[in-house]
Amino acid sequence: MPKSSQAIQNPVTNFFVNQPAALSTEALRRILGIRLPVPLTPAQMARSLRVAFYPSAGQSPKLGVFLRKLRKALVDSGAAVIPYAEALAEGAKGRVGKGIVLIAVGEGAPGNLAIDHVASLSENTVVGVLDGTLPGLSENRLQKRLNALIGALVWHMAHVVIYVDDASWTVCNMNGAIDTFGLASLKDRVLHTLIPKLAAPVIPPKKSDFSVFEGAFDPAVSEYRLPIGDLIAGGGQWAKTGLLTSQTKVEELVFRNNRYRRIAAAYLSWRTGMSYGFLARQLPLEIVPAVELKNTSPPIRRLDWNEKDFHEIGRRLYAAIKVGGRRFIMGVPPVSVLCTRSGCDKTDLDVSRDLVKLTLDGGKVILETPRGAAPGGDCQPSFDTTTILGHAVGNALVASVLAAINPASKFCHSLGRRGLALAHWHGYMDPSVWPAGYYSHGQTNLPVSCSTPQAAIYAVSGKLSAFQRSLVEGPEFLGDVHEEPSHGTNLTGKSLVKLALLVSEAAATQAV
């Protein structure tokens, strides 16, 4: 890797690369359609939190000590810890106000769990603190570990569960994260692991979050033949890797009573189950080369791009990306993706009901369900929808710059002619095993959940940084490996079949 103190001339673009590609958080929010401010640092996340402790009786001395230290760590990090009575006063009918995190200790009793005292399933986060270890924690198989995790979450009706034993504490959430730390690291891990999970919680996307067109996606249309063929063949190839988990069915989970089963079903927007990972195909798009600011037309050049790196001109959004001291202006195009629906068996797809079409256009997300799916049926968008579309629009931005500085780019050719593939699984590989042209990023990001706006912002900003690194280091940018701490890996490349083979080869290399 080149030394950062050296000026390095890229032989393809013939200009000096000395700073990362960049878009402001405000520009990323506008591109992705994120309307509210998004905390992205531990301190910002801590300041965004309001926490109350649910009264409980009979807690063990060990948990009592842990709770006192947890409360202090939250306060020291900058979170507001308020009395339970105050939290109730902000709500109504014996429920805490919306937006407050509620921490409860112990098993609790049906009808009087913390979940029974929150105003909103999606706007309040419940944290259960338990004595002992997560059942199945010692299992080597990911599927069994995830099944045990989901079983614990629905039994305790919590979004996050913390297990405390004599030497360690383990944080688990719906994201599939299972993180164990020594008790001595409590203060640091509260700030850098627990708080991100509370400030950016898992919120299952609902159809009502998007503009929905039921039955509008026709899998039989010729333009979808290649991507659907790759999704089917890729699913079979990915099955051989053993990295994609099967569905955990809601009907097979054990609840304390049917009322809690209905609560969980409503929270999941009536999905029949959950599975981790996704397979997606970004559809081809016309790639318009970005234009260096000094070469743009006067109306564009006269805008203040120093004060703001995005502007709406007419009805189109334009963004300015910094690359090596130069500023490239591009129109942000709509991007479309065919993606596996939430909870389906990704390795054995039923095209008539297991695929959805997602489009991001001007910050607006459009969801099209397949023609063969029953209206109102279990054809729900993936938990990872925001991240999937973040990668898709990030690919489009990278391709626009590449088309300007390297018209022969293989990445541009792939996206423009056949589209690109995106795969996600729960697990990681050493960055050194990836072939030349695939650049990894995300290892130092906070462990946020896949359904969050933070995850989408990290996806786009990380891809732009990986692309910038490719200009410095070489070889040519072919794709990227987005590592999500406490979650998994997103891999972008030419096809799902080739990505599965690439992962298998990388796994074999790592095992040697």
Closest CA to 335 of 422, 448, 225, 442: 422
Q: What is the DSSP letter of 504?
A: H
E strands of 429-503, at which residues? 438-441, 479-484, 488-493
* CA gap 480, 464 in Å, rounded: 10
For residue 42, which phi and psi values (nearest 5 degrees)? -55, -40
Domains parsed from the chain with CATH numbers: 13-39+211-511 (3.40.225.10), 42-199 (3.40.50)
- Antiparallel, parallel or unpaired: β 160-164 and 126-131: parallel
Q: Measuring CA to CA, how many Å separate 195 from each of 321, 353, 448?
A: 31, 37, 9
Q: Are 506 and 407 in contact, with CB atoms under 8 Å apart?
A: no
pLDDT of residue 270: 66
Structure tokens belonging to residue 432: 């050194």
What is the torsional sign of CA 88, 93, 95, 96? Answer: negative
* CA gap 102, 87 in Å, rounded: 9
For residue 38, which phi and psi values (nearest 5 degrees)? -125, 115
E strands of 383-497, at which residues? 420-425, 438-441, 479-484, 488-493
Q: Which amino acid is at 375?
A: P
What is the torsional sign of CA 133, 138, 140, 143? Answer: negative
Structure tokens belonging to residue 166: 């004599």
Counting every residue, how long is the chain? 512
Q: Is the bond preceding residue 205 a cis peptide, omega within 30 degrees?
A: no
pLDDT of residue 431: 85
Name the H helices within 125-222.
142-156, 186-189, 195-199
* CA gap 103, 30 in Å, rounded: 34
Q: Which amino acid is at 90?
A: E
Per-residue pLDDT of the chain (512 residues; tens, 9 = 90+): 232 222 223 333 333 333 444 799 999 999 999 998 999 999 999 999 999 999 987 788 999 999 999 999 999 999 999 999 999 999 998 899 999 999 999 988 999 999 999 999 889 999 999 999 888 776 667 777 778 888 899 999 999 999 999 999 999 998 888 899 999 999 999 999 999 999 998 888 888 889 999 999 999 999 999 999 999 999 999 989 888 877 677 788 889 999 999 888 888 766 766 677 889 999 999 999 999 999 999 989 999 998 999 999 888 999 999 988 889 999 999 999 999 988 788 888 888 888 999 999 999 999 999 997 776 667 788 888 999 999 999 999 999 999 999 999 999 999 999 999 999 998 888 888 899 999 999 999 999 987 899 999 999 999 999 999 999 888 999 999 999 998 899 999 999 999 999 999 888 777 55
271: three-class secondary structure by DSSP: coil
